[in-house]
Structures are given as C-alpha cells and as structure tokens.
C-alpha cells in the first residue's frame, strides 16, 4: 500500500469555514483523515465570565452564523433557568415560530452549499440562497436584523410580532411547501446527485450512538432522538411535534431528514400561528444589574439545526462563573474520520457537506 499524505486547507471551498484536514490517501481511497481545528477559536466560554449576563448574547450568535438566533435563545434560556424565570406564554409561541423559521433558513443554505460540495447543481445553490433570503426578510420584520438578531430577553422577547407578520409568514409557508417538492424533484431525478449520495458515508444505528453524533446526522441513522420532543421545551408538546427519522444512515438519508425537517418546521409554524395566544410577550428590559440567580447551576438542552446544544451555566450573582457549551458541529466533525475511511477522496467532501458543519460552532 502506497499511502500519500496530503494537506487540505486551512482554507478550502468545501470546509464551510476555516478547517485543515490532513488526509492519508491510497490511490483514490481515504485511509485516514484528521481534522485540525482552532482557526476560529475566540475563547467565548471564558470571555463570558467577564461580562454581565445580558452582555453575552451577541457573542453567542457568532458561534453559528448560519442560525444565530438558535444560539442566542439557548444561552438566554440557560440564564432564565438560573434566575428561575418562566417565559411568558405568548413569548414561548413566538420563540418557537422564529426558531423554526431560523431552522428553515439554515437548511436552505445547507442545500446549496452541500450541492456545491459534490460539484453539482449550481442551480440548487442559487435556489437555496434565493429562498433563504425570503425567510431572512421575515426574520428581519420580527427582529430588525438579517444576520444577527439579539432579540431574546429574559422572560420574553425584545418586541412583539409586527401586525402583518403572521399573514406574511403563512404566505411564505405556502410558497416554501411547493419549493420543497421542486427541490426534491430536481435533485432526486439527477443520476449524478443520487450516485454521490446513495450508499456513501454510511453510519449505522449503533455507530451513530457510539460516536455521539447529533441532530439530522443522528436521526438519519435511525436513532429517534430530538431534544424538541425528548427534552421538550416551550410549547413543542402542545404543537404535536414529530421527530423526522431515516434508516439508511448514508448521505442521502441525511439529506432526506433535513428536507423532512423543513416540512415539519412549516407545519409547526402554521400550527403555532394558529394557536398564538394574546397577551404580553416582552421580556425584561436590558439591565446590567439583575435579580440574583436563584439556581447556582442550570443546564438546558436545545435542538439547533445542526443538532443538540447543551448549555451548562454556573451562575455568579450577576454574570456567568462558568459556561460550558456542547456544540453540535464539534461532535459531528469528530465522526468525519470514521465516515471517510474507505471512501473515495472526492466523496470525503460530500460526506463533510452532509454533516452540515459551521466552524464557529466547532471552535467556539
């Protein structure tokens, strides 16, 4: 066996951020691949110790710049748990609606970049960004920003939904439901796409559990786990949330899970809007000095678009004493070596694309 070691990165069009891969290749077969991370490390978990509780949400949003609202909410939820604050009912519905919109936006970007990773479908890339832009317009209506939002406050939201938001959201969901079918027809009838996806990067049920992968990567291998259902929060149990699972564990299954999740998010948004109660949704005004935390330690679990995120917060009187984040991209990247071994070199990037990595989420 003649093994050649090649260096890929640290800047490469298929890495979804700044990542270096050191790969051992035998001909066109991957023998071993080792990710080298840290190029985006900013020490966020340590940085938050020097800031008051509500000075930190802007740092959280930069961890996953594809779904920033999700990290913002997870951190604020940890602070709320430490302070013993219950989120207002209307605000719970609004958070679910906005988080599911953020999930759709994240998955649409993933569709485009994943197709680029396998060297196919520039049309899908343009479609994904075009449709994602419509979702971002809707999020901008609610939060005032297109990229970063910082719209969570302790106990509620910065502002209530604007008057026409629900009508705009329902119209967009009707459009998006049709578009999902168009994506599937376009991609799944393409023989090159199917060849690059079906049977490639197979992760079995047992291996998925043993490796600790999370999110769509886990559910594509038949593991029926979603924090929105298994560790339910807000009003997901009232909205009859259904976990989306596939059994094959390959690239195609990971693609299908995310397409199914877009459909489920559309359903949740419609149901959430229909059940949206009246009342106040506003949280506490931003103050540096807050009531002292009631719980020394808080642990919250949230289902981000890339998988389960766990925030472990040790609270001081007015700021985090410690914060530890279990980020989904870091966990899923750790499985790349296992998945890529024995695959063709070109398929390594397709596999990495279906892991849906964001390097800010990996490095923290």
Q: Which pLDDT value is given to residue 90?
A: 94
Q: Which residue has the tokens 């961890």?
A: 63
223 occurs within a structural domain: yes
* pLDDT value of position 216: 94
- Residue 85 within any structural domain of the chain: yes
How much helix, strand and coil, in percent to the nearest 5, is found in the chain?
50, 15, 35
C-alpha–C-alpha distance, residues 74 and 144, integer Å: 20
pTM above 0.85, yes or no: yes
Do 354 and 336 contact (CB within 8 A), yes or no?
Answer: no
Q: Which of 56, 272, 68 is nearest to 154 (CA)?
A: 56
Tokens of 128: 């994904």
19 found inside a domain: no
**Would you call 67 helix, strand, or coil by DSSP?**
coil
Residue 9 within a domain: no
- The CA-CA-CA angle for residues 111, 65, 229, to 5°, reads 70
**Does the residue 113 lie in any domain?**
yes
CB of 280 within 8 A of CB of 88?
Answer: yes
Contacts of 47 (CB under 8 A, 6+ apart): 59
On the CB side of 170, CA atoms within 13 Å amount to 8
Q: From the centroid of its chain, how far is CA 340? A: 22
Total domains in the fold of the chain: 1
- 339 vs 13, 224, 296, CA distance in Å? 20, 20, 40
Contact status, residue 343 vs residue 312, Cβ threshold 8 Å: no
User: Cβ(275)–Cβ(94) under 8 Å?
Assistant: no
CA pair distance 268, 283, nearest whole angstrom: 23
Asked if residue 362 lies in contact with residue 327, where contact means CB atoms within 8 angstroms, the answer is yes
Give DSSP secondary structure letters for 231-297. T--TTTTTTT------SS-SHHHHHHHHHHHHHHHHHHHHHHHHHPPPS--B-PPP-SS-PPPS-SE
- Tokens 């969901």 locate to 173
pLDDT tens column, 39-55: 888 899 999 999 988 89
- Domain span at residue 245 reads 40-363
326 inside domain: yes
Low-confidence ranges of the chain (pLDDT < 50): none
CATH number at residue 69: 1.10.645.10
Residue 14: predicted pLDDT: 64
Runs of H (alpha helix) within 118-240? 122-143, 165-188, 191-197, 205-211, 216-219, 227-230
Biggest alpha carbon distance in the chain?
Answer: 69
Q: What Cα–Cα distance (Å) separates residue 341 from each residue in 26, 38, 86, 253, 280?
A: 11, 23, 47, 19, 54
269 upstream amide cis, omega within 30 of 0: no
Residue 24 lies in a domain: no
CA distance 88 to 91: 5
Distance CA 15, CA 191 (A): 25
pLDDT digits (tens, 9 = 90+) for 276-309: 999 998 888 877 667 777 778 999 999 999 999 9
Cα 87 from Cα 93, distance rounded (Å): 10
Cα–Cα distance between 55 and 37 in angstroms, integer?
A: 27
7 located within any domain: no
**Total count of residues recorded for the chain:** 364
């Amino acid at each position: 066996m003649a093994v050649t070691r090649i260096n890929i990165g640290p800047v490469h069009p298929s890495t979804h951020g700044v990542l270096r891969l050191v790969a051992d290749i035998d001909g066109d077969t991957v023998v071993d691949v080792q990710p080298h991370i840290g190029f985006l490390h900013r020490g966020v978990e340590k940085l938050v110790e020097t800031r008051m509780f509500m000075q930190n949400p802007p740092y959280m949003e930069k961890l996953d710049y594809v779904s920033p609202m999700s990290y913002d909410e997870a951190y604020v939820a940890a602070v709320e748990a430490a302070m013993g604050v219950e989120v207002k009912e209307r605000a719970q519905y609004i958070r679910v609606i906005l988080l599911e919109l953020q999930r759709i936006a994240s998955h649409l970007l993933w569709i485009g970049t994943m197709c680029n990773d396998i060297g196919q479908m520039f049309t899908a890339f343009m479609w994904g960004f075009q449709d994602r832009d419509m979702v971002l317009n809707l999020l901008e209506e609610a939060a005032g920003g297109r990229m970063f939002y910082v719209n969570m406050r302790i106990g509620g939201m910065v502002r209530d939904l604007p008057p026409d938001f629900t009508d705009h959201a329902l119209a967009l969901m009707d459009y998006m439901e049709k578009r999902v079918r168009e994506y599937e027809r376009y991609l799944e009838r393409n023989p090159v796409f199917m060849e690059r996806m079906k049977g490639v990067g197979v992760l079995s049920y047992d291996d998925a559990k043993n490796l600790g992968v999370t999110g769509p990567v886990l559910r594509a291998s038949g593991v029926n786990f979603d924090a929105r259902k298994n560790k339910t929060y807000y009003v997901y149990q009232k909205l009859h949330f259904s976990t989306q699972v596939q059994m094959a564990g390959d690239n195609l299954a990971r693609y299908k899970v995310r397409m199914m999740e877009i459909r489920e998010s559309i359903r949740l948004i419609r149901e959430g809007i229909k059940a949206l109660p009246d009342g106040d949704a506003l949280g506490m005004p931003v103050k540096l000095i807050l009531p002292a935390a009631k719980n020394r330690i808080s642990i919250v679990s949230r289902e981000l678009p890339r998988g389960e995120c766990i925030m472990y917060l040790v609270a001081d009187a007015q700021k985090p004493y410690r914060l530890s984040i279990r980020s989904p991209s870091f966990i899923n990247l750790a499985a790349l070596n296992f998945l890529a071994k024995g695959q063709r070199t070109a398929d390594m990037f397709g596999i990495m694309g279906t892991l849906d990595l964001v390097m800010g989420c990996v490095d923290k």
